[in-house]
Chain A
Amino acid sequence: MENSVIISIEKLVKQFPMGQGVFTALNEIDLTVQKGEFSGLIGPSGSGKTTLLNIVGSLDAPTRGEATVLGQPISKLGPREAARLRKENLGFIFQSYNLLQVHTVYENVEFPLLLLNIQAAERRKMVMDALEWVGLTSKEKSKPPQLSGGECQRVAIARAMVKRPSLVLADEPTANLDAANSHHILQTMVKLNEELGTTFLFATHDEKVISYLRRKIYLLDGKIDKIEHVAVNDTVPS
């Protein structure tokens, strides 16, 4: 695996206005993530993991400091550049799936490719490949309300992966799933990480997810508390 830096965070501070003062969600964060990592931000609610994920995903900007993602400094990106970064290089997986409810499974997965202006024939092949990765080729015409939670999250994974992004950001991806579905989802992501070399960064406090991570970044009150590295053979896809 190539060992290049995909995320570089330096002295990152994020503050939100709260009443008369400010709430510091992230405080002097320094972190680097290498290409191909399967790592996660772990911590209780309010520890700042989602905020950090949003900044890395260029959905939010730091108050101070810098987060450089794929060589692009987030604080200096305008709305168009940030949108281009997300469109071309990032995949998102959300806790509540965030699928487009009136679109079919196929259309949901196809959406990022439409934004990239990929030709119809190639688009079709890429969508079907992505659905095959997550085992949902038979559900391409279904709509999200007709799917189970596990199936919805697998569609979300396919949507995040279909354009072969460099980095996938997953915010509590198993929070709404039962154990069996959670393991299924996580095994799928591990497989994609290994086969496609996609970097995964999670925000989670779910033990099932934590057990799959090969790098565990513990956050507490907006600061990095500790970082644990796990050998590949020690991850537990049970």
Chain B
Amino acid sequence: MRLAIQLAYRNLIGAGLRTWLNVIVLSFSFVVIIWLKGIMAGWDHQAKNDMTRWEIGGGQYWHQAYDPFDPMTLEDSHAPIPSALSSEIANDEAEPILMVQGTIYPKGRMQSVIIRGIRPGQTLLDVPTQSLDTLTEVIPAVIGSVMARTSRLEKGDYAVLRWRDVNGTFDAAEVLIADIFASNVPSAEAGQIYIPLEKLRSMTSLQGQATLVTFRDPEPEREAIPGWTLKTKAELTKQIDELIKTKTTAQSIFYFILLLLAMLAIFDTQVLSIFRRQKEIGTYIALGYTRQQVVGLFTVEGTMHAALAAVMATAYGLPFLLWQAKVGWTMPMDTSQFGMAIAQTLFPVYTVGLVVTTVLIITLTTAIVSYWPSRKIAKMNPTEALRGKLQ
């Protein structure tokens, strides 16, 4: 094997431009695949991190009637906070949130919203609720940048908010937009308006009640609470996993095309080599190689393209990949319209597993593609090959 590697290296280097063209194409595949996979991993990491920071914490207890995909359930999705969570809430390790359907009238227009009551002093989520801790005649409110854009509200603006209390009676009051935040998490922003929890409770006559309780500690062993459904962090971020999986599957087609082009170049080179180097093949056999060893030599030679490509990819790809990890990739379009947790700038995350898997897949594919045409050598007549006669 060592000899085959030594000879294959000499042959490849000796082949000059033909080798380097293949190596360049293959190294490009290495870098692009690692970069794209890094972007996906970065997106996954960032999306889950943002969801944790802005919405789900370490997991949540949902009122059993609560369904985030059906706003009509909000009417019945509230109950007194379970006593089992009282101490965690008192220690700021859990945060109760009451959710009520409402309507906001920004500058004379009308928009359905979900009113979220949250404690102004909470530290569990990054929502700037401290802005709610203010003395004002109107209700202080915090909204996300997506909501601000759709409602054309700005910090300091006033709007009328209408809601129904527990008895179904409509009421309305003026809210002041005390702060606007940007989170990259659409479900925490779009159509959501945050006001002080106690204020919402008094507005709706739902004293001491909540729709969900977000806890800080993501420990997996949490006890079941009657009337409440435990949603672990893994469950709450499952949609991100599914979304990334779908995107990754779509990307795989791109990887396949990219690899196909690179492999086509390798395959062509191998076929051309076997076609043009018959005399050389005959010489190897005359000097003491078996035909199978020549097949092995040509396979190693083809596979070595991948090894050289990995070296080349390291030379120009590593600085590029590191630079990307540092500055990130800013998408040219506005990601807040995407309806999914995605930042405007994605920072690729490369793991050892990602790099090793990519290198192994490309090398293995190259080996197979190199071996495939080389099998022809095993059927060659060495005396014909020595004369360079095409077989």
Contacts and interface: CB of A to CB of B under 8 A. Distances in A.
B288 A86 contact: yes
A114 interface: yes
B15 A112 contact: no
A115 B285 contact: no
B291 A92 contact: no
A98 interface: yes
B291 A79 contact: yes
A86 B10 contact: no
B280 A94 contact: no
B287 A92 contact: yes
Interface string A107-121: 100011011000000
B134 interface: no
Given A59-B286, A80-B290, A84-B288, A101 B280 contact: yes
A96 B383 CA distance: 13
Interface in A64-86: 79-80, 83-84, 86
A79 to B, nearest CB: 5
Contact of A98 (B11, B15, B283, B289): B283
A173 interface: no
B122 interface: no
A84 B286 CA distance: 10
Classify chain A: how many residues form its interface, as a range. Answer: 20 to 34
Contacts, number: 68
B10 A92 contact: no
A88 to B, nearest CB: 7
A107 B285 CA distance: 17
A83 B279 contact: no
B1 to A, nearest CB: 12
Given A54-B383, A102-B11, A102-B14, A83 B6 contact: no
A102 B290 contact: no
A219 B109 CA distance: 109
B331 interface: no
Given A94-B386, A98-B279, A100-B280, A83 B14 contact: no
A86 B14 contact: no
Main secondary structure of the interface of B (DSSP, over half): helix
B325 to A, nearest CB: 39
A109 to B, nearest CB: 11
A79 B285 CA distance: 10
B296 interface: no
A114 B280 contact: no
A86 B382 CA distance: 13
A143 B10 CA distance: 12
Contacts of A114: 3, 6-7
Given A59-B386, A60-B383, A98-B386, A83 B289 contact: yes
A87 interface: yes
A103 B291 contact: no
Contact of B282 (A87, A98, A111): A98
A83 B283 contact: no
B354 to A, nearest CB: 36
Contact of A92 (B7, B11, B286, B289): B286
Contacts of A57: 286
A79 B295 CA distance: 14
A100 to B, nearest CB: 6
A143 B11 CA distance: 13
Contact of B289 (A88, A103, A115): A115
A115 B292 CA distance: 15
Nearest to A117: B3
Contacts of B291: 79
B251 interface: no
Closest 4 CB pairs of A and B: A102-B14, A87-B288, A98-B283, A83-B290
7 contacts: A59-B383, A98-B283, A101-B280, A103-B10, A114-B3, A115-B287, A115-B289
